[in-house]
Structures are given as structure tokens and as C-alpha cells.
């Protein structure tokens, strides 16, 4: 059964490059990014994991843990890490799950048999490029899925995390292409009367259903 936004993130035990973990215990009271890549020692994945390593301090600032996964064994992850550091300029600084029995990949529906678009090959037993953002309550807050051929935009994952955390703290929505510091949207569930109490500094009404306000601090 596929996982969906709002579901509890399936818990699991796994071997990682930083030892054994139980996923929910590992998350603790933080947010988490679980992302999969198809295969170690491949070009697109090498660029992705290196970029994520460079971006990790930004996730740290946001009280968010990062963990990677593929169906390769932990021993391969450790060998590959040297190539990532050499070619991308960043050493992998987060754990990588060795899911060689496909247990976690199946829990999170990361195996897409028709992903290659042609006759089934061994590559179809690799994970697609999935991203799951999990909240401190262990609920799935967002998901992104990319094909094996297209590298992800991890800056967008960071932007999405900012939007989710802002919503969790202030119950606001974010408009198209929103970036931190820009105006946000007052949900339609909030009446004008309640909005005036919540935002005494005022807000802008473009339509009865479209009201914007400066981003809450």
C-alpha cells in the first residue's frame, strides 16, 4: 500500500553507514528528510549526494536530519563516499541506509517496475529518486518523486521544508514560488474578523478568498 501525505511514516530498523537505527527513534523530536537514489557508483547519484552534503548545514539550522537510501549494501556506500568527496568537493555527512533486501524501499513504494519505460531490466529493482519530508510527529508532510534519469533540485526541498515549518508554526499558506521573507497567504478557514485579531498590523485583500500578509516571525 503506498504511503500518502498525512500518513504516519512507516517505522523500520536498518543498517546504515553510521550504524543500526530504528527510524522513528532516530528522528526523535526533529524533522527528517529520507531520500533514495537508484545506485551507488553512478553519475547522477554522485552529484546529488555531494550536493546534499554541502547543503546539510542548512538542514541542521532547521532542526532537520537527513538520511539517504539505496538497495546497495552499506559496504558499497562506504567505498563510494570517497568518489563523492573527490568529485563533488563535499564528504557525505549523513547516514546512508543499505537496503539490499529492499525492505524499506517496499515500505515506501520506492520501486517502480515500469520506471525504465521499456522492457523490465535489473535497473527496475533499484529505487527511483524519492524524497519524503517527515515531521516531528512522524507524519509524512510532503513527497517528491523523480525518475532515475533526472537529478533533483535539493534547493527546492529546502524551500519546501521552510514552507512546511512555517505552516506548522503559524498556520499560514505559501504562494507560488514563495521564498522565506516574502508575504504569505491567510487560509480561507480564517475569517476576516479573526485575521484582524491575529494580524493587527494589517493584511492585503485581493479577493475575499485571497489575502496576503507579511511572513510571521
As annotated, the active-site residues are 45
Three-state DSSP string of the chain: CCCCCCCECCCCEEEECCEEEEHHHHHCCCEEEEEECCCCCCHHHHHHHHHHHHHHHHHHHCCEEEEEEECCCHHHHHHHHHHHHHHHCCCCCCCEEECCCCHHHHHCCCCCCCCCCCCCCHHHHCCCEEEEEECCCCEEEEEEEECCCCCCCHHHHHHHHHHHHHHHHHCCECCCCCCCCCCEECCCCCCHHHHHHHCCCCCEEEECCEEEECCCC
Scored b (16 or more CB within 10 A) or e, 162-186 reads: bbbbbeeeeebebeeebeeeeebbb
Amino acid at each position: 500500500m503506498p504511503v500518502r501525505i498525512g500518513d504516519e511514516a512507516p517505522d523500520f530498523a536498518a543498517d546504515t553507514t553510521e550504524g543500526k537505527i530504528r527510524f522513528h527513534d532516530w528522528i526523535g523530536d526533529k524533522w527528517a528528510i529520507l531520500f533514495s537514489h537508484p545506485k551507488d557508483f553512478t553519475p547522477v547519484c554522485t552529484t546529488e549526494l555531494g550536493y546534499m552534503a554541502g547543503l546539510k548545514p542548512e538542514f541542521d539550522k532547521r532542526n532537520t536530519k537527513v538520511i539517504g537510501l539505496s538497495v546497495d549494501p552499506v559496504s558499497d556506500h562506504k567505498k563510494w563516499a570517497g568518489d563523492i568527496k573527490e568529485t563533488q568537493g563535499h564528504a557525505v555527512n549523513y547516514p546512508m541506509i543499505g537496503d539490499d533486501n529492499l525492505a524499506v524501499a517496499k515500505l515506501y513504494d520506492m520501486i517502480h517496475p515500469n520506471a525504465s519505460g521499456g522492457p523490465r531490466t535489473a535497473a527496475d529493482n533499484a529505487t527511483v529518486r524519492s524524497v519524503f519530508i517527515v515531521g516531528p510527529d512522524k507524519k509524512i508532510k510532503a513527497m517528491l518523486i523523480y525518475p532515475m534519469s533526472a537529478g533533483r533540485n535539493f534547493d527546492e526541498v529546502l524551500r519546501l521544508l521552510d514552507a512546511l515549518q512555517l505552516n506548522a508554526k503559524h498556520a499560514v499558506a505559501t504562494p507560488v514560488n514563495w521564498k522565506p521573507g516574502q508575504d504569505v497567504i491567510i487560509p480561507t478557514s480564517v475569517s476576516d474578523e479573526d485575521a484582524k485579531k491575529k494580524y493587527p498590523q494589517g493584511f492585503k485583500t485581493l479577493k475575499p478568498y485571497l489575502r496576503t500578509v507579511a511572513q510571521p516571525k
